[in-house]
Structure 1
Amino acid sequence: MVSDQPYAQEFSRRRLLHGSAVAATTVVLGACSTTDGPTADRGDPDPSTRGGKGSRTKPVEPPAKFGEAPALAAQVKAGELPPVAERLPSRPYVVPHRWCTDGKYGGRMLNLVDKSDSGAINEYMYGRSPLRWLNDGLDIGPGVVESWESNDDASEWTLHLREGLKWSDGEPVTAADALYWWEDMVLDEVHTAIPPDSGRSGSGKPMTLSAPDDTTLLLTFDSPTPLTPALLANGVNTLDWFVPKHYLGRFHPKYNKEIEDKNWFEDHDQHANWVVDPDCPTLTGWHTTSYREGRQIVMERNPYYWCVDANGNQLPYVDEVVFSVVTEPEVRKLQIQEGSVDYVHGAFIPIGLGDISGMKSTQNQHDMDVLLWDSGSGTGSVFFFNYDYPEPGLRRLIRNPKFRQALSYGFNRAEAQKAIYYNTGEKTTGTYSPKSIEYQVNDEGKQVYRTWRDAYVDFDPDKAAQMLDELGVVDSDGDGVRELPGGGKLRIRIDVPADVSAEHSSKNNLLKADWEKLDIAVEINPIAPEAFGDQWQNGQLMAQSSWEVGDGPDHITGPWWFVPIEPARWAPLHGRMWSLRGTPEENKETDVYPWKRTPPRVDPEPGSPIARLWEMYDRAKSETDALARHRIVWDMVRIHIEDGPFFMGTVANYPQVTMRKKELRNVPARDQLALGGMVNTWAHPTPAVYDPEAYYWENPDAHT
């Protein structure tokens, strides 16, 4: 198993403001509507022949000579920096995107974020990742790790780092930086880090990590772990794998004996956050020079960034990027319309479909183009019950698939598609991303997707009412409202954070109106955002309707909605139990009622849908044959169909808005991307996958 083979086999983010001018927006978006999901064949034996769009899948050979930004060349001449060839690794990463053209150095790029944490900013930069997704998740390419291979059963992986790779302060990157993360953070008895999926086997046990030399890492697992490359490409929002030991060691008691605070790891991890701490070395294209919490983050080019363009010019092209923190949505829109912003990525800034007409009418002021990338969402705004609700009578009803199916038939998605998504996307029961590999690999996979999408998508209130009657969910006391089977009050409470976005709020109002027509009492219950997460994870809330399912590029490397393995989604107490597997906590409090445990957690009943999903998930993680793994996933999808829906979607794969100044180049259009884009998933970090370091100004001097 080697790295030069095409990859053919994985909290969604995005807020969408519901605007006006539905008719005008629908006209603008008509061409973006999708009907049956993407049709690209991810089994293509040679994706490098796909034509003029997408990205090359085999590493591009670096040229013999390298160029650099004029500002850095001046520093080299002054003796303040080594020459560019000495700052780059011996074989730098060459950006492989076919849409990229030769750029120009200089200028500043102004961006907006809604808060000053590192989450959204990390999604702009892929430079710290061991491997990288290419072609909207079709393929995997090298990153910090230049090449990799496994033994025959994929239980042992060897990673080869780029020789000569350097941190942003010029210090060498070696295998010791990965060992520090693993031994002094993950395995440290005091530090709170836990092994990521990329560091655990298919059975869930942590790997053994060793380093034969400075540029080689050996990952040894207790069972086959064939998805390791995908897991190494997933996401950018963690401290996984490579951290600067030479800097962080001064905050670790093992290396600095003056540290005695028992909570030392909190300070340590604050310094490990390269966005927040300007002194923390990074591997990203830009590094922080000024951090003002709640106001602004300023970053300048990393002189040691290890990526170049096709001609050997060191990236990034743009000298400086600025992220201004603006919390009020209307203020953000006003700043964009006034021309104070250069680049808007719709996954983080709520410029939604309803805002397009307004943005186009003010184009003379802001001088920005509106690009529509595919969101790749499997659901749009999603509703889901707490499968582990503490009240037994209501929990039995929630766990009855016929009840959830009846409610799905009672939801008029066509109305939501028109009012919220401007007749774009495709109505859906709720699935994983339509672009997921398991739906693309062959015709059988495409049919599995369509079957799940369409399972309970029809609006059929008569059928819904009949199913509720058959369940005994009837108006037994004559007050015009249905009760629980056998009697007792039934009220669906849709719990949402008080700051829920307009997209979800509009959908929730439609849900409430539709279900009330079925004679069901429905309440929308706003909860303080700071309390919402803990209450949900402890199983205290009834239902949630303020997220979406955008996960991909496959079901197994990003399984959080597909299989309950953590407590944030539809089966929080089951997810909590899974997350404690293999830890000392797993076998504690076994004689305590699950909802009274600390933390609350519950094992699945034998033969239950979750028990079967867990078992199949374990098998899929260890299955080395890709098609056999896909078939396991298809069987898991059938559980979601027959025993679901566990989460209820609205509209899948609607367009996602990106805006850029007309002079900002190398920002791809939808038709230049392999699958039209896949924005709404953390595992496939966007726009990082499109290398913003290669964006450039046609006239840099006008943007200083």
Structure 2
Amino acid sequence: MHMPKISRRNLLYGSALFAGAAALGGCSSGGDTPNGNGSNGPRSEAQGSASEPLVAPGTYQQAPALEGQDLPPVQERLPEHPYVIPHRWVTPGKYGGKLNMNVFSTTGAAGAVSDFEFFYGNSPLRYLNDGKDVGPGLVESWESNDDASEWTFHFRKGLKWSDGEPWTTADVMFWWEEFVLEQKMAVTPPDEARSGKGTLATFTAVDETTLKISFDAPAPLTPDRIAMWVNGPRVGPFWAMPSHYLKQFHPKFNKSVGEDWDAVGGLMATRSDWHRNPECPTMTGYRCKSFDNSRGVVLERNPYYWCVMPNGDQLPYLDEIQISVVTDDQVGKLQIQQGSVDYCHGPFNRVTLNDVQGLKDSTAKAGTEIILWDSGSGTGSIFFFNYDYIDDDLRELIRNPKFRQAVSYAFDREAVRQSVYFNTGEPTTGTLSPKAIEYLVNDTGKQAYTGWRDSYVAYDPEQAKQILDELGVVDSDGDGIRELPGGKKLKLRIDSQADSSPEHSTKDNQLVSDLKAIGLDMAINPIPPQSFDDQWKTGKLMSRSNWEASDGPNLLVHPTWMVPIEPTRWAPLQGQWYQQIGTKTAGTELELNPWERHPPRMEPEREGPIQRIWDLYNASKVEPDEMKRHELVWEMIKIHISDGPFFMGCVANFPQITVIKNDLRNVPRRENLTLGGFVNTWIHPTPAVYDPECYFWENPDQHA
């Protein structure tokens, strides 16, 4: 896919009202600080990545630490044609050293996900150039039939798991047949494996390195969608599981483990998670060396990793990565300022723009540099009601678009832009990522974006009050607080995870204050993070606020904010209905109350906005013409404007922070990236897309 270079208002790095804003101007901008190309001179100005695969060098070098181990020669551990790192800013590095990181988590290392965003090794295909291009991964080449209803993927010959066992398409079929189709271990079909008609694709292993995926309708976006996520446990679909290892824990292949999937499934979930289980093979550049849920994880080099540098260096360069868990975000930030953290990727360390001044002041002592990449966010900190809330009266009000529009008009986004985002980015009602191709392809796309962004963005309390009056949401008893039509008390809640970051809590407090000013009573209700998702999916929570929407680079590859197709966004029960289409569960328990079904699910109203969005989305999935797909997206956006907002943002495309040690090399700066970076969406996994396996120390002996 081809995307024009983005053109939008520049981020105001040096012009905010607060002291921290001045520090933004000096972050990752020119100068003679140590660079990403392994020297101390001016940093590399090379931009982007090759969109076509680079030729394998033919001769290879390995890490000295692997010498003397009982391993085959490096050329025998690599596939016939290894993946060659295509980024123009990288240079050959030095082997050795450890990278120290920390990650915030209230539930221990098992609940931390930052390290999963680092490794693209399990993925069949990969995003390049901030999502503009799709390149090979485990798959070396691919093609489709004329109507894109059948796709054939040719995996690299000679791939090996981290234990040296061969990787084959049998590992894909093990995941698909034993877990997806059987719906075991809470594994559900990824939407990229379902056609526009709602039916699941057919997977066929043609041979050990060839996989055929057949749909009953055209599926032109299949490669783009397979490039999403890092893939593996907990983040994205598995796509392949090490069947040679996991069969010993599966009842079908080992009768001695028993047939109780409540027990077996828990064991399998742990055994199949390479991050928690040192015995589990992986295809990533690092494998688990040790795991402690209260302390963290230590990762060591995978000697069979299938990626190399253009000069033939087998990756990774670093010997180990140690990721420590912190349960207090202030402790984690102090560790960064003291220099005990070598690499901090902002979204997962609770580091925000509020922390820039403190981080800037400590760079000399800590030996660090602050890098600002574009977040790509379409919302900033988000707020949305539960469209499928269990209470009948409140659900009726929530589903009335006029009520949500009144809430949007009451929200002073400019105050949040100043207090949280230091006047960076742009105010927005809330869209998907402004970097998406559908917005940039032509003037119609640009108008679709600005129309959605500006639809209810104005701060207009008087208009908000007028709308509420027209809805009959008035102060009927004279206490200054509005009631539901008919006089019933109206008490709104922000159901927020108890460990929400200051970015979200500051915005929440602003929203509560703004709604009080128009007579709406809203309270912040902290929910333990361990139970939050289950309560949300069952319709028991009224609203959600600790998230943001940033999906792209193509709005159709993962449209979950635009189209309710799963249960974690704004219409959880209807999303769950869509997710069960084509499965064994779809036609069961229909006589029960939607909230009592297993899983809870609800069919949308036939002429309602969700069904209309579904119809357009299903049409887009089978439309081979790219421009017609864009037009279908624009039609969905019109529904989001007329019947929305279904979710409410505040600021789009603010900068995201990464902090690195001065002598860490091959880390790109904003000017090296095609679109300035695209951090905040998980489907474009950052920094995995920039291949951290090629990061190296200029002085590895100082980081032993």
Please say whether Structure 1 and Structure 2 have the same fold, judged by a TM-score greater than 0.5: yes
In structure 1, what is the equivalent of residue 405 of structure 2? 405
Distance 1:600 1:248, change over 3 A: closer
SS at 1:586 equivalent: coil
Matched residue type, 1:262: D
CA distance in structure 2 between the aligned counterparts of 1:84 and 1:564, rounded to whole angstroms: 47
* 1:62 aligned residue: 56
Deviation at 1:31, TM superposition (A): 8.6
Q: CA deviation at 1:533?
A: 1.9
Q: Distance in 1 between matches of 2:594 and 2:251?
A: 38
Please report how far the alpha carbon of residue 641 of structure 1 lies from its aligned counterpart in structure 2 after TM superposition: 0.7
Secondary structure at 1:424 match in 2:
coil
- Tell me how far apart the structure 1 counterparts of residues 348 and 499 of structure 2 sit (CA, whole Å): 15
Match of 1:259 in 2: 257
Within 1, Cα distance between the matches of 2:623 and 2:256? Answer: 48
Alpha-carbon deviations, 1:67-103, whole Å to 9, x = none?
A: 221222444xxxx221111111111111111111121
Letter in 1 for 2:20: T
Q: Do the aligned partners of residues 357 and 479 (structure 1) sit closer, same or farther apart at CA in structure 2, a change above 3 Å counting? A: same
**Of residues 130, 144, 150 in structure 2, which corresponds to 1:136?**
130
Alpha-carbon shift at residue 456 of structure 1 (Å): 0.8
Kindly indicate whether the alpha-carbon contact (under 8 Å) linking 2:57 and 2:311 is maintained by their aligned counterparts in 1: yes
2-structure distance, mates of 1:378, 1:447: 15
Give distance in 2, aligned partners of 1:522 and 1:107: 51
Question: What is the distance in 1 between the residues matched to 2:162 and 2:642?
Answer: 52
For the structure 1 residues 502 and 614, does the alpha-carbon distance in structure 2 shift closer, same or farther, using more than 3 Å as the test?
Answer: same
**Could you list the runs of 4 or more consecutive aligned residues of structure 1 that deviate by over 6 angstroms after TM superposition?**
none
Indicate the SS of the match to 2:141: strand
Structure 2: distance between partners of 1:686 and 1:512: 33
**Contact 2:203 2:211 (8 Å CA) reproduced:** yes
2:180 corresponds to which residue? 186
- The structural deviation recorded for 1:199 is 2.5
- In structure 1, the residue matched to 2:109 is 116
Distance apart, 1:190 and its partner CA: 5.3
Does the aligned pair in 2 maintain the 1:196–1:240 contact within 8 Å?
no
Instruction: Kindly report the root-mean-square deviation, in angstroms, between the aligned alpha carbons of the 2 structures.
Output: 1.9
Q: Does 1:230 align with 2:239?
A: no
Percent of aligned pairs sharing the same letter: 55
Cα deviation 1:417-448 (Å, max 9, x = unaligned): 00111111111000001111211222221221
Cα displacement (A) at 1:52: 3.4
Change (3 A) 1:157 1:8: farther
Supply the AA of the counterpart residue of 1:273: D
Instruction: Note the C-alpha offset of 1:560.
Output: 1.5
Q: Deviations over 1:172-200 (max 9, x none)?
A: 11111112222222234755422222322
Question: Is the CA contact (8 Å cut-off) linking 1:210 and 1:219 kept in structure 2?
Answer: yes
> What is the Cα deviation at residue 366 of structure 1?
1.1
1:649 Cα shift?
Answer: 0.5
Q: How does 1:398-547 map to 2 (within 5 A)?
A: 398-547=398-547
Aligned to 1:699: 699
Q: Which residue of 1 aligns with 2:32?
A: none
- 1:224, CA displacement in angstroms? 1.3
215, 223, 227: which is aligned to 1:221?
215
State the match for 2:352 in structure 1.
352
SS in 1 for 2:256: coil
From 241, 247, 251, give the equivalent of 2:239: 241
Query: What's the counterpart of residue 629 of structure 1?
Result: 629
Q: CA deviation at 1:258?
A: 2.5
* Cα 1:587/1:256, change in 2 over 3 Å: closer
Paired AA for residue 72 in structure 2: P
Aligned counterpart, 2:18 = 23
Distance 1:601 1:255, change over 3 A: closer
Aligned partners of 2:185, 2:419: CA distance in 1, in Å? 48
Partners in 2 of 1:29 and 1:393 — Cα distance? 47
CA displacement at 1:595 relative to structure 2: 3.9
Secondary structure, counterpart of 2:394 in structure 1? helix
Give the whole-Å Cα distance in 1 for the aligned partners of 2:82 and 2:589. Answer: 52
Distance in 2 between the 1:408 and 1:389 partners? 19
Equivalent residue, structure 1, for 2:76: 86
Quote how far apart the aligned CAs of 1:119 are: 2.4
Offset at residue 599 of structure 1 (A): 4.0
Partners in 1 of 2:371 and 2:425 — Cα distance?
16
Structure-2 residue corresponding to 1:37 = none
**Residue 100 (1) aligns with residue 90 (2):** yes
Contact 2:376 2:679 in 1 (8 A): yes
3-state SS of 2:347 partner:
coil
Deviation of the 1:643 alpha carbon? 0.6
Conserved? CA contact 2:426–2:652, under 8 Å: yes
Paired residue type of 1:254: K
* Distance in 1, Cα, partners of 2:299 & 2:183: 35
Contact (CA 8 Å) 1:417, 1:423: kept in 2 or not?
A: yes
Q: Residue deviations 1:377-428, cap 9 Å, x none?
A: 1111111111122333322221111111111111111111001111111110
1:88 corresponds to which letter in structure 2? L
The number of equivalent residue pairs is 667
What's the counterpart of residue 143 of structure 2?
A: 149
Report the alpha carbon displacement of residue 559 of structure 1 after superposing the two structures with TM: 1.6
Deviation, 1:28, is 2.5
SS of residue in 1 equivalent to 2:223: helix
How far apart in 2 are the matches of 1:597 and 1:489?
29
Seen in structure 2, the aligned counterparts of structure 1 residues 613 and 239 have a Cα distance that, compared at 3 Å, is closer
Shift of 1:488: 2.2
Please give the secondary structure, in 2, of the residue aligned with 1:656: strand
Partner of 2:248: 250
1:322 is displaced (CA, Å) by 0.9
Q: Which runs of 5+ in 2 are unaligned?
A: 5-15, 29-44
| Contact kept? 2:27, 2:369, Cα under 8 Å | no
Match of 1:208 among 202, 205, 229: 202
Q: Secondary structure at the match of 1:584?
A: coil
**Deviations, residues 442-471 of structure 1 (Å, cap 9, x unaligned):** 222122111111111111112222222222
| 1:231 alignment partner AA | R
Contact 2:178 2:184 in 1 (8 A): no
Residue 583 of structure 1 and its aligned partner are, at CA, apart by 2.6
Native 8 Å contact 2:376 2:678 kept in 1: yes
Letter of the structure 1 residue corresponding to residue 260 of structure 2: K
Structure 1: where are the runs of 5+ without partners?
A: 1-5, 10-20, 34-50
| Separation in 2, partners of 1:597, 1:86 | 53
